Structure 1
Amino acid sequence: MSTERRAPLDRRRVADTALRLLNEAGLEGLTLRAIAKELDVKAPALYWHFKDKQALLDEMATEMYRRMAAVTRLDPAGTWQDALRTVSGGLRTALLGYRDGARVYSGSRFTGTDHAPQQETYLGIMTAAGFTLTQAAQAGMTTNAFTIGLVIEEQGVEPLPGHRREGYDLDERARMLADFPLSAAAGRDLFTDYDHQFDEGLELVITGIGSRYKIT
């Protein structure tokens, strides 16, 4: 009989396992049964920690944020524009680290206060630059929504790096839209080079925030 002891089952260990399986099965294929099998426990054991799949997704999103925050540092003396670039860039990198990462993250609720230190620093930078607290929160929410939305679209086309989903062949799309030359040509901007799309889109958002609130 083996004397090897398994690590105790807790929320973080379940979320870590779920994130690993996410890359294999995607969000649709991620089930509590599959996670339990990977952990070598019965599925009901997971309900001691998570009442349903959404509760698990909340913990997964929180763990994704923890990992992002560990490698994303805001400079309290930096500009408000750089603060938004840093947070948004770090979030995109984190979401792209998992298949369907943006879908898991979108709409999820943080299960603790891990996000508070970075958020406090961000709000401090923004209010010091002249934004009201409400404006700072709105600016953060807007850039967050842009980042998550773009990554959802990006992962819809490329579920994994280097793997394009069927139906996104640009030459075939151009042939289908031959009677609409502008739309046909736009496909190469819409469905390629997501790094550029993100950088350019984020600058549009940041410029709009500065213009809206008259802060340079």
Structure 2
Amino acid sequence: MPSKASRKPLSRQRVLAAAVVLADAQGIQALTMRRLAVELHVEAMSLYYHLRDKEALLDGVVETVIAEIDAAISRLDTDDGGEDWRTRLRQRFLAARHVMLRHPWAPGLLGSRRTIPATVYAYYNEIIGTLVGAGFSYHLAHRALHAFGSLPLGFTQEVFSPESAGGNMEDDAAEADLAAATETLPHLIAMVAAEVHDSTDPTLGWCDSQSKFEFTLDLLLDGLERLRG
């Protein structure tokens, strides 16, 4: 264990960065105050000076992922505003997805939190600003946000999700359940059989492959363009 003299000062930012690394390596279920303290070479009690409990830790991890999305998007915002609104939003949403693919546990964690970080509100404010700046009314911009769902944050909500954090239709239990329902759910079974994912297509869940994400995003953007007119 490093000596006190050589140890980097502990800070909230450093704790949360280490928490994200731990979740990436071992999954969000592995993230505990005790395990995080081991990774940081500190006593577990020292973490409570920066985060009052496990819930505060998870909220902070969400804030950290959102900040990563904001940073990725800020690197896109170098254009003088001349690009089409659809291109602008498409680039933002795909940049968010790139972050989520690095943290596949994050969509499930986002959906489980009781509070919404202020940075999420700011993020959606920018999306509304882009829509209104392109000529949308606030009424239609509101409807657009409902239609987008979780797309702005880089993932799509699972249609079927056995677990709150990253449910999977491809595990053995799910496949067994579906096989048993072949006669009573013929259309659902046929759809599942038809949806064979390309192994090179990045995915965050059974209903969230890259190709499906982009198909849904383009469908919505093109439809909103027609409504704007």
TM (norm. structure 1) is 0.74
How many corresponding residue pairs?
Answer: 205
Contact 2:11 2:50 in 1 (8 A): yes
In the other structure, the counterpart of 2:214 is 199
Q: Which runs of 5+ in 1 are unaligned?
A: 159-163
| Greater share of residues in helix | 1
Matched, 1:100 2:105: yes
Q: Which residue of 1 aligns with 2:15?
A: 14
Residues 79 and 46 of structure 1: is their aligned pair in 2 closer, same or farther, counting only changes over 3 Å? Answer: same
For 2:53 and 2:147, locate their aligned partners in 1 and report how far apart those are by CA, in whole Å. 29
2:167 to 156, 159, 162: 156
Q: CA deviation at 1:134?
A: 5.5
Q: CA deviation at 1:187?
A: 0.4
Partner of 1:167, secondary structure, is: helix
Give 5+ residue unaligned stretches, structure 2.
199-208
> Residues 3 and 24 from structure 1, CA distance in 2 versus in 1: closer, same or farther, beyond 3 angstroms?
closer
Indicate if the aligned counterparts of 2:182 and 2:189 stay in contact, CA closer than 8 A. Answer: yes
TM-score norm. by structure 2 comes to: 0.71
Residue in structure 1 matched with residue 228 of structure 2 by the alignment: 215
Deviation at 1:39, TM superposition (A): 0.8
User: Can you list the C-alpha shifts for 1:103-136, whole angstroms capped at 9, x where unaligned?
Assistant: 223345336x5984x6565444321211234643
Query: AA paired with 2:91?
Result: T
Amino acid at match of 2:30: G
Structure 1 residues 141 and 43, CA gap change in structure 2 (3 angstroms): farther
| Most deviating of 181-190 and 202-211 | 202-211
Identical-pair percentage: 24
Q: 1:175/1:57 Cα in 2 relative to 1: closer, same or farther (>3 Å)?
A: closer
Establish whether residue 51 from structure 1 lines up as the match of residue 56 from structure 2: no
The answer as to whether partners of 2:23 and 2:31 remain within 8 angstroms in 1 is yes
Change (3 A) 1:62 1:99: same
Is 1:109 equivalent to 2:116 in the alignment?
yes
Distance across 2 between alignment mates of 1:143 and 1:177: 32
Distance 1:133 1:11, change over 3 A: farther
1:161 paired residue number = none
Tell me the distance in 1 between the aligned counterparts of 2:88 and 2:194.
Answer: 27
